[in-house]
């Protein structure tokens, strides 16, 4: 279980004047095999929280633990063996092939002087198959489409053999077709492989269709945390974004949908 207990973080403030931004007292539990969405307006602290959960930032207050072990006390390598992160976009400065990109996911499992062996290659191959990118293996990463790139990056994260996968707006720059493709992939990973997922996104309908629980953040504080159908309401959308919306259960989609109607008038 991935757990944040009263986690807080502040940026900046080296020359006095206090912190430029603070994430305050966020508590969150993601059960093994759970799928939690992080929602909130720009600057609400979604990405910061995701970094705290992935241990790439260390909490200033409170703690983040994975199965009871504090991330602050674990080495980078040890954390990366268990938690993988998929960023919004990945721009390598060299022209790596898809195979090389995916095999880089094995890095935390290799020593500094060891090369990947047949077992690592088998794991990478499986990650390619799971993400539907096996046919791209010899292509140059830079020549792929946006959707293909993001699937390859997810394959690389899967090659880390993580228990937890954290995604930071993985569909933000993708068109609707690719968004659905990534959504189907994430659902498959969660249901068939019991990968624990945390997804930060601006796409309310994507979150509603995928996540069992939502954490709603505003101004660095928790507005609500609970099962998707309970917390995703018209009142919450207004509180989060200042937008009036029609929030209804869509029978054919099988989940709550949000149709924005316009800026809310106070």
Return residues touching other proteins (CB under 8 A). 14, 54, 56, 75-81, 84-85, 87, 90-97, 99-100, 104-105, 107-108, 110, 112-113, 115-116, 118, 121, 124-125, 137-138, 157, 160
Which among 22, 228, 36 has a CA at the least distance from the CA of 236? 228
Is the Cβ of residue 56 or residue 233 nearer to other proteins in the bound state? 56
Say how far residue 109 (Cα) sits from the centre of its chain: 21
Residue 59 CB, shortest distance to other proteins, in Å, is 15
Residue 210 CB, shortest distance to other proteins, in Å, is 21
Is the Cβ of residue 109 or residue 187 nearer to other proteins in the bound state? 109
Say how far residue 234 (Cα) sits from the centre of its chain: 24
What CA–CA distance (Å, rounded) separates 164 from 178? 23
Where residue 61 falls (left for φ over 0; alpha for ψ -120 to 50; beta otherwise) is: beta
Residue 131 CB, shortest distance to other proteins, in Å, is 15
Residue 34 CB, shortest distance to other proteins, in Å, is 20
Six token digits for residue 142:
């830079």
Residue 70 CB, shortest distance to other proteins, in Å, is 17
The residues near 60 (Cβ < 8 Å, ≥ 6 apart) are 8, 9, 10
3-state SS, residue 139: coil
Is the Cβ of residue 77 or residue 191 nearer to other proteins in the bound state? 77
Main-chain phi, psi angles of 170, to 5 degrees: -70, -15
Answer whether 71's CB lies under 8 Å from 166's CB.
Answer: no
What CA–CA distance (Å, rounded) separates 159 from 101? 10
Is the Cβ of residue 160 or residue 179 nearer to other proteins in the bound state? 160
Is the Cβ of residue 88 or residue 233 nearer to other proteins in the bound state? 88
Residues written for the chain = 266
Residue 209 CB, shortest distance to other proteins, in Å, is 26
Is the Cβ of residue 167 or residue 224 nearer to other proteins in the bound state? 167
What CA–CA distance (Å, rounded) separates 24 from 125? 41
Q: Where are the beta strands (DSSP E) in 169-242?
A: 196-200, 213-218, 221-227
Is the Cβ of residue 21 or residue 96 nearer to other proteins in the bound state? 96
Residue 12 CB, shortest distance to other proteins, in Å, is 12
What CA–CA distance (Å, rounded) separates 51 from 79? 12
């Amino acid at each position: 279980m991935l757990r944040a207990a009263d986690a807080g973080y502040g940026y900046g403030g080296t020359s006095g004047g206090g912190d430029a931004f603070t994430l305050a007292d966020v508590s969150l539990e993601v059960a093994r095999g759970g799928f939690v969405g992080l929602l909130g307006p720009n600057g609400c602290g979604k990405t910061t929280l995701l970094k705290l959960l992935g241990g790439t930032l260390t909490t200033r207050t409170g703690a983040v633990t994975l199965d009871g072990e504090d991330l602050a006390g674990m080495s980078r390598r040890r954390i990366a063996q268990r938690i993988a992160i998929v960023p919004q976009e990945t721009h390598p400065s060299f022209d790596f092939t898809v195979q090389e990109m995916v095999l880089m996911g094995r890095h935390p499992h290799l020593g500094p002087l060891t090369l990947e062996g047949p077992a690592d290659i088998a794991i990478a191959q499986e990650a390619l198959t799971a993400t539907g990118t096996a046919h791209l293996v010899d292509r140059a990463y830079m020549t792929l489409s946006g959707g293909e790139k993001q699937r390859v990056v997810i394959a690389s994260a899967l090659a880390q053999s993580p228990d937890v996968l954290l995604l930071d707006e993985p569909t933000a720059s993708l068109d609707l077709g690719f968004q659905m493709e990534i959504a189907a992939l994430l659902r498959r990973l969660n249901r068939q492989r019991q990968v624990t997922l945390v997804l930060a996104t601006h796409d309310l309908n994507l979150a509603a269709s995928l996540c069992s629980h939502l954490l709603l953040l505003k101004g660095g504080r928790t507005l609500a945390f609970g099962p998707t159908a309970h917390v995703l309401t018209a009142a919450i959308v207004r509180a989060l974004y200042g937008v009036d919306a029609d929030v209804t259960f869509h029978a054919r989609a099988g989940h709550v949908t949000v149709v924005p109607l316009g800026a809310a008038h106070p």
